Homo-oligomer: A and B are copies of this chain.
């Protein structure tokens, strides 16, 4: 347990495991999306296991169409273990807001889908009348 808890890795391994490039890791770190890797005096960073999951979560959120800036506003909710009622209340608030945004996105995405489908159907009808 002790080993698995404080096993640290350097940027190359972290990047490979999260399927991103070291450049991306540094970029995200500069944006504060992932916690700064501890420096071992030598200047090299050391990252904990958890950071892999964090990078993967960022990737998931990106796939949802969120910008890195938007991700920055919510990513900590996934990894900070908030203590105290105030903190949790606030997290809950933010989650609800996040959910609302997600619902809104769902709606507009469905809207967009039906538009595209409409275009396709018009094309299909056009082909029928011509065939």
* Interface SS of A by simple majority: helix
Q: Determine which of B92, B98, B106, B113 lies in contact with A103 in the assembled complex, contact meaning CB atoms within 8 Å.
A: B113
| CA of A65 to CA of B88, assembled, Å | 29
Pairs A–B under 8 Å by Cβ, sample size 25: A63-B108, A64-B105, A64-B109, A64-B116, A64-B119, A65-B105, A77-B119, A83-B130, A85-B130, A92-B120, A92-B123, A92-B124, A95-B116, A95-B119, A95-B120, A96-B120, A99-B113, A99-B116, A99-B120, A102-B109, A102-B116, A103-B113, A106-B106, A106-B109, A106-B110
Find the B residue at minimum CB distance from A99: B116
Q: In the complex, which residues of chain B have a beta carbon less than 8 angstroms from the beta carbon of A91?
A: 123
